[in-house]
Amino acid sequence: MSVVDEIKQRLDIVEFISTYVPLQKSGRTYKALCPFHTEKTPSFIVFPETQTWRCFGACSTGGDIFSFVMRRENVDFPEALRMLAEKAGIALRPLDRAEMELKGEKERLQAINLTAAQYYHHLLMHSPQGEAARRYLERRGVKRETMVAFQLGYAPEEWHALEEHLKRANFAPEDILKAGLTVKSESGAVYDRFRGRLMFPIRDMQGHVIGFGGRVLDDSQPKYLNTPQTPLFDKGSALYGIDLTHKSIRESGTAIVVEGYMDVIIPYQCGVTNLVACMGTALTEEHLKILKRMTKQLILALDPDAAGMRAVERGVEAAQKGLEHKVVPVLTAKGLVRYEEQLNAEIRILVLPEGLDPDELILRDRSRWDQLVANALPVVEYFTDLVLNAVDLSKAQGKREAVSRLLPVIAAIDNPVARTHYLQRLAQRVRMDERQLLPELERLRAGPARSSPPDRVAKAPAPTAPTSPLGLEERCLALLLGFPDLLPDVLEVAELSADVFQDERNRQIFEALRRFTSEHDEWSPEHFALGLDTELKAHVESLLQTLHVGPPLSPEAAHEDLMKCSTRLRKSYLSHLLRDLRFVLQDAQEQGAQERIRELNATIERLTRDYLESDKRFYAATLLGRKKAKEGPLSSDGI
């Protein structure tokens, strides 16, 4: 048995979750006020039978005990595994030598950073040298208690002040260098990296100091200096302020991404506490993944320069140049749309007034800020407006330009309803028949960026796949791992999403597979497994093994089987959801909560329709279905 299964067997989800929130028995389930969002009536339900949980409110997500810990503790899968194994009294594979050394090193570097932050902070608050920095902060409107909350500091205008201080605290010179706090010149001389700067310690969500940003107090260059890439610090994943703001992001349900340190600090002081800043880099996939664990609603606050069309279009180029390691920059309309869908998140754009940063704006006019937040536009709408305002729609050339810029963005939308909606809007705005735009849209969707669906014309009747003892989740994943080309079809036809998988392991693998296929043209199981945690790797291997049972599958048979399994999987997910929703509805009816009853009924109606549509989509996409449609009563449905 795998460690994951063993943990699930030993820990009862009801017992476990009730250590976090008081659970109230309600029929065959337990309910509570959702621990992930603020609410007055409970919409968080725990299901003892399936050992799963779900929030039917704002979060509208659920999962198993692992998903719960990941969300609640803001950790990734390996860390959740470690925590739960400890709780269950199960020994994980001991760390090997290299991992031990890495862990030891990280702890040493954290201690060095913490000591440095305290040193800088003391100088800012109490020393005569810190006077200029203190006055600068006061001029910007930063109060003393805020300087303390963010542990702001001052690095003196000296070459060895910090180095000496850290050595006196018994830290090894190599480690100080590795933490990025000193620099070694070509001649071998070692000196302090940050001199004469206002210091911003950058922390991770757990509050460890992972790096620093330093700002000059005069006009010298560079204005900002960051810790370089170290074992602790990675610009592409660090989010300034997250240690202080993650609670508020979770509670408010929205994260606002800004650009500078001050843009987090001043709003925080004024009570706007759901902000984070990415440090002078483009927003990366890594940033989004971290934020997505806390909320599905992201707002990017862009200054008018960055929000301009060229900048949005060129985001990829600029970001790639600015970064020394491989990240996937997403600050392009197309990139944002793609990640919105992959992450199942909503991304909006807030454009700041000319010449005003969030900190100045909030200090001057709080209500204007609130208004800007409320009026932030979805990415596609924002970009559409941007393009249409820039071209002359009365001329044929302007129309052509608008179409050629906007169609690729619309083509990147996976959801067919949303895609059609935006296509229609574009057609209206440029006064063209949408049928004229459709062939180009389809060409873009079939383009090299997406793997094309396999040839579905089978020469002989497809043999039926061997019946498998596996669960549906595992069968789907195994087939996808064996035939990753089928993924686009599964996404489109069965509308499979990570949420459908109740086992967190399967969910992780599904998401990893989606990411991998969108970033790599070539599929290789070995390459794919490389990016996974040990437990997940073992799971992938055992899934792939199951494909070798019975006669080899032809691609056609795999396609049929996968369509069938994924449709059934999604239907079973929907029917569970509907059953659970009816419980919740009963509760609401007993309490006479009219507003809630209306909401729930609307959701039930929507899901029921979705459930019924699943079969239609399935029949339309499979051989078996097309045959059935010809013979059976379904033909009257117009398929």
576 lines the binding site for Zn ion (CB under 5 A): no
292 lines the binding site for Zn ion (CB under 5 A): no
Contact stretch for Zn ion (CB under 5 A) within 54-62, 180-188, 495-503, 521-529: 54-62
Which segments within 431-546 are labelled E, that is strand? none
Torsion of CA 477, 478, 480, 481, to 10 degrees: 110
57 lines the binding site for Zn ion (CB under 5 A): yes
Contact stretch for Zn ion (CB under 5 A) within 55-63, 209-217, 338-346, 398-406: 55-63
521: closest CA among 451, 626, 471?
Answer: 451
Alpha carbon distance 470, 191 (integer Å): 61
34 lines the binding site for Zn ion (CB under 5 A): yes
* Shortest distance (Å) from residue 176 CB to Zn ion: 44
* Shortest distance (Å) from residue 57 CB to Zn ion: 5
Contacts with Zn ion: how many residues (CB under 5 A)? Answer: 6
In sequence order, the β-bridge partners of residue 182 are: 192
Contact stretch for Zn ion (CB under 5 A) within 33-41, 92-100, 130-138, 345-353: 33-41
Beta carbon nearer to Zn ion, 55 or 290: 55
Beta carbon nearer to Zn ion, 39 or 158: 39
Q: What is the DSSP letter of 356?
A: -
Q: In 3-state terms, what secondary structure has residue 499?
A: helix
Token pair 């059609």 is at which residue?
A: 420
37 lines the binding site for Zn ion (CB under 5 A): yes
* Shortest distance (Å) from residue 424 CB to Zn ion: 33
Token pair 């309910």 is at which residue?
A: 31
68 lines the binding site for Zn ion (CB under 5 A): no
* Shortest distance (Å) from residue 608 CB to Zn ion: 22
Beta carbon nearer to Zn ion, 33 or 83: 33
User: What are φ and ψ of residue 91, in 5° steps?
Assistant: -80, 125
* Shortest distance (Å) from residue 44 CB to Zn ion: 6
59 lines the binding site for Zn ion (CB under 5 A): yes
Q: In 3-state terms, what secondary structure has residue 503?
A: coil
55 lines the binding site for Zn ion (CB under 5 A): yes
Contact stretch for Zn ion (CB under 5 A) within 49-57, 154-162, 500-508, 573-581: 49-57
Contact stretch for Zn ion (CB under 5 A) within 48-56, 259-267, 484-492, 535-543: 48-56
- Radius of gyration of the chain from its Cα atoms, rounded to whole angstroms: 27
* Shortest distance (Å) from residue 349 CB to Zn ion: 25
Beta carbon nearer to Zn ion, 61 or 572: 61
45 lines the binding site for Zn ion (CB under 5 A): no
Beta carbon nearer to Zn ion, 36 or 200: 36
Residue 264 in contact with residue 277, Cβ under 8 Å? yes
490 lines the binding site for Zn ion (CB under 5 A): no
Q: What is the DSSP letter of 260?
A: S
Alpha carbon distance 276, 295 (integer Å): 13
Residue 519 in contact with residue 330, Cβ under 8 Å? no
With both helix axes pointing from N to C terminus, report the angle between 504-519 and 65-73 in degrees, rounded to the nearest 10. 70
56 lines the binding site for Zn ion (CB under 5 A): no
Beta carbon nearer to Zn ion, 58 or 92: 58
* Shortest distance (Å) from residue 93 CB to Zn ion: 34
User: Order of strands, edge to edge, in the sheet holding 197-203?
Assistant: 153-155, 197-203, 209-216, 224-226
Beta carbon nearer to Zn ion, 54 or 287: 54
Alpha carbon distance 260, 280 (integer Å): 7
Alpha carbon distance 207, 203 (integer Å): 5
Query: Of these, 3, 13, 23, 36, which contacts Zn ion (CB under 5 A)?
Result: 36
Alpha carbon distance 212, 215 (integer Å): 10
Beta carbon nearer to Zn ion, 294 or 413: 294
Length of the chain: 639
Beta carbon nearer to Zn ion, 53 or 194: 53
Binding site for Zn ion (CB under 5 A): 34, 36-37, 55, 57, 59
